[in-house]
Amino acid sequence: MAHPSTYQPRSGAEKWLDERLPVARLMHDQFMTFPTPRNLNYWWTFGGILTFILVAQIVTGVVLAMHYIPAEDRAFDSIEHIMRDVNWGWLLRYSHAVGASMFFLAAYIHTFRGLYYGSYKAPREVLWILGVLILLLMIATAFMGYSLPWGQMSFWAVTVITNLFSSLDAIVPGLGTTLVQWIWGGFAVGGPTLNRLYSLHYLFPFIIAGVVVLHIWALHVPGNNNPAGIEVKSPKETVPFHPYYSIKDGFALLMFLLLFGVFLFFAPNLLGHADNYIPANPLQTPPHIVPEWYFLPFYAILRAVPDKLLGVIALVSSIVVLFFVPWLDTSKVRSTSYRPVYRWFFWAFVVTCIALGYLGSQAPEGWYLFFGRVFTIYYFAFFLVVMPVVGKFERPRRLPGSITEAVLGHAEQPRSRKREAVA
Amino acid sequence: MTRHVFLNLLGTFLLGFAAPDHAVGQDGHAPEIARQSWSFAPPFGTFDNAQLQRGYQVYRDVCGQCHSMRLLSYRNLGEPGGPEFSAKAVEALAAKSQITDGPDDKGQMFQRPGRPSDRFRSPYANEQAARSANKGALPPDLSVMAKARAGGPDYIYALLTGYRDAPPDMNLAPGMYYNEAFPGHQIAMPPLLQDGAVAYTDGTEKTLDNYARDVSAFLMWAAEPKLEERHKVGMRVMIFLLVFAVIMYLAKRTVWAPLHKHRDTQSS
């Protein structure tokens, strides 16, 4: 939020630097005194949590890269070398692997929070689009990272996902095949594929970090949305980010780390798949090829469509549709709390995503496939039908006049009713 | 012992559940695997050194005749959190195996007794030799087996104790055995592990059940040699985070208190 700078250089050196590169001023204004709505709830703490995990993933990843060997015949053993012989290697590797799951858990909560409170609506469309871009980059990064242990599931996940591009053969014969061989660096998934996946897996997190900077920049221009979904009307309705939200985010981060710790120390393989402890074998397909849990809803959508090309289009659309959410939702009201009709559709959408996640882990046959299709249809209908139509016809509940009123809740209402009675 | 029980209870209480310590898969075709009780399974569980030592004996005398464990070295047998054989015992165990080394000054490979730094000696020189000695079947490497199958040590125990007579309506392929726990029930591995097959010296009963249990625990350690360290560090980290979180919560309440007071005076 544009606010007057309150930074005062306290020494000659600070003054000198401030006139040349006002980086201390930037930090002071954006992360210390930044005016933040005083009514943010704990769902708003996931941005800070995500920043922490991104940094943790990069730090653990850089150290892991010092010990990992991206070669077809050595990758699996080099991971086991990390687990057995590198000092604290087991902690680094499990932190990184479990950290990926925690990253997606937090990112999904963060995204659902944005959806529920309408944080994508004007003037925060660019902020939202950058967020979807980060999600897309995360998906690519996690997929490439999962390939690196070069176990059975790594190998076959790469085979299945890269083969999706071959569906382009249905448009231009030969185009898909050529593209897939270009991606593989050969006629099958192999050493060259592993090398390039590793190279890109190291590159992408830094691109994510760059987009995160833009994401925070785009947040700091209009300022935070808030649970009431109404604009800040006076400076009294805000508090400086530090200490109010630095400490609230800090507490939330610790609670999140406790959950992280449960998985990391007591069930590090619970979220993974046993088959990935079998070295990659191109001659033996596992009975079920299943992605990591955080991709299961998308996997269910892919398999719900009987045609390969259309399935891939559905898969890509399920994420791309998020880019258009700011314009698909026609309601003027941001917060779903004040939208009595839309609210039901929203929670049905949350249930749909969880159901698709479960169905993605099951074989696509019988009732599983049937419900996979039902939920896939609702997934898209939510964006393409519910968002535009409900916004037009719904009568939202009365919005509070200000954040102050929203915070005070019903305390003022009896008084106003009394006044009405007198009148 | 009582300390372990207490820590297990504490862990179960703190975490609200006893987390299974192995990968859980969702292979719909695999038969149900019964859960066993393991000393290392609870959140703060540890390995039973004596059990791991017996398990190593079972591996070396029976499993190791066909199955390699190429990721383990003899020195691992003496490391903390494992079977914890004495340094002398590790040297003696390593020296029992003849290791191919070389080439020497004349360019010849030669045999020498194993050293603690050597990897476990593999029973076959290569995959082809292993297959030809086993009617075409390849005995898989056991280094991370306890993490590479849904069910982990439970599965290994179920498999080793799962040999039965084939149902009359089932046509077993020649040279195959019927096993309840194995997906598809036809397994090429013969039931070599039988009552009395391994000479335990610590008074433990020489039964198939004990052998299967001990070697499953041993394979879990082999797959996850840092499990004890992980549990120990985990407990400390969790306690630290809990205390830190309480302090942070109180600090947060203190910092926000004036704002909430302000709200109360406004509303009254």
Claim to verify: residue B188 and residue B216 sit in the same structural domain: yes
Claim to verify: residue B204 and residue B146 sit in the same structural domain: yes
Claim to verify: residue B127 and residue B65 sit in the same structural domain: yes
Using a CB–CB cutoff of 8 Å, tell me whether A84 touches chain B: yes
Taking the C-alpha atoms of residue A165 and residue A177, their distance in angstroms, rounded to an integer, is: 8
* Residue of chain B whose alpha carbon sits nearest to that of A236: B259
Claim to verify: residue B218 and residue B233 sit in the same structural domain: no
Using an 8 Å CB-CB cutoff, list chain A residues near B234: 261, 264-266
Claim to verify: residue B59 and residue B124 sit in the same structural domain: yes
Question: Residue B101: inside a domain, yes or no?
Answer: no
Q: Which residues contact A339 (CB under 8 A, 6 or more apart)?
A: A331, A333, A390, A394, A396, A397
Strand, coil or helix: what is A1? coil
The pLDDT of residue B262: 56
Q: Alpha carbon A234 to chain centroid distance? A: 32
Chain B, residues 65-84, CB within 8 A of chain A, namely: 71, 76
Taking the C-alpha atoms of residue A416 and residue B76, their distance in angstroms, rounded to an integer, is: 77
Side chain identity, residue B181: A
Which secondary-structure segment (H or E) carries A382? none
Which H, E and C letters describe chain B, residue by residue? CHHHHHHHHHHHHHHCCCCCCCCCCCCCCCCCCCCCCCCCCCCCCCCCHHHHHHHHHHHHHCHHHCCCCCCCEHHHHHCCCCCCCCHHHHHHHHHCCEEEECCCCCCCCEEEECCCCCECCCCCCCHHHHHHHCCCCCCCCCCCHHHHCCCCHHHHHHHHCCECCCCCCCCCCCCCEEECCCCCCEECCCCCCCCCCCCCCCCCCCCHHHHHHHHHHHHHHHHCCCHHHHHHHHHHHHHHHHHHHHHHHHHHHHHHHHHHHHHHHHHC
Work out the number of other CB atoms within 10 angstroms of the CB of residue A225: 26
Parent domain of B25: 2-72+119-225
User: And the tokens for A14?
Assistant: 């600070």
Count of domains forming chain B: 2
The pLDDT of residue B31: 77
The pLDDT of residue A412: 43
Question: Residue B78: inside a domain, yes or no?
Answer: no
Taking the C-alpha atoms of residue B109 and residue B97, their distance in angstroms, rounded to an integer, is: 16
Claim to verify: residue B238 and residue B154 sit in the same structural domain: no
Q: Which residues pair with B99 in a beta bridge?
A: B112
* Residue listed under structure tokens 């930074």: A7
Claim to verify: residue B260 and residue B134 sit in the same structural domain: no
Question: Residue A356: inside a domain, yes or no?
Answer: yes
Q: Which of B231, B245, B255 sits opposite A247 (nearest CB)?
A: B255
Question: Residue A164: inside a domain, yes or no?
Answer: no
Using a CB–CB cutoff of 8 Å, tell me whether B255 touches chain A: yes
Count of domains forming chain A: 1
* Residue of chain A whose alpha carbon sits nearest to that of B233: A265
Question: Residue B104: inside a domain, yes or no?
Answer: no
Question: Residue A305: inside a domain, yes or no?
Answer: yes
Question: Residue A401: inside a domain, yes or no?
Answer: yes
Phi, psi of B102 (to 5 degrees): 130, -170
Claim to verify: residue B219 and residue B147 sit in the same structural domain: yes
Question: Residue A81: inside a domain, yes or no?
Answer: no
Using a CB–CB cutoff of 8 Å, tell me whether B23 touches chain A: yes
Question: Residue A400: inside a domain, yes or no?
Answer: yes
Contact state of A270 with B20 under an 8 Å Cβ cutoff: yes
- Splitting chain A (423 residues) into consecutive groups of 10 residues, what average pLDDT does each group show? 84 96 95 95 98 98 98 97 97 98 98 98 97 98 97 96 94 95 96 97 98 97 96 92 96 98 97 96 92 96 95 97 98 96 98 97 93 98 98 94 80 42 40
The pLDDT of residue B225: 97
ipTM of model: 0.91
pLDDT-flagged residues of chain B (< 70): 1-30, 262-268
Using an 8 Å CB-CB cutoff, list chain B residues near A84: 71, 76, 225-226
Claim to verify: residue B152 and residue B213 sit in the same structural domain: yes
Using an 8 Å CB-CB cutoff, list chain B residues near A80: 71, 143-144
Claim to verify: residue B123 and residue B256 sit in the same structural domain: no
Parent domain of A352: 297-423
How far is the first Cα of chain A from the last one, in angstroms, to the nearest whole number? 41
Question: Residue A327: inside a domain, yes or no?
Answer: yes
Claim to verify: residue B261 and residue B154 sit in the same structural domain: no
The pLDDT of residue A408: 74
Claim to verify: residue B249 and residue B139 sit in the same structural domain: no
Question: Residue B179: inside a domain, yes or no?
Answer: yes
pLDDT, tens digit (0-9, with 9 covering 90-100), for A327-368: 999 999 999 999 999 999 999 999 999 999 999 999 889 999
Q: CA dist A323 to A61, A235, A316, A320, Å?
A: 29, 32, 12, 6
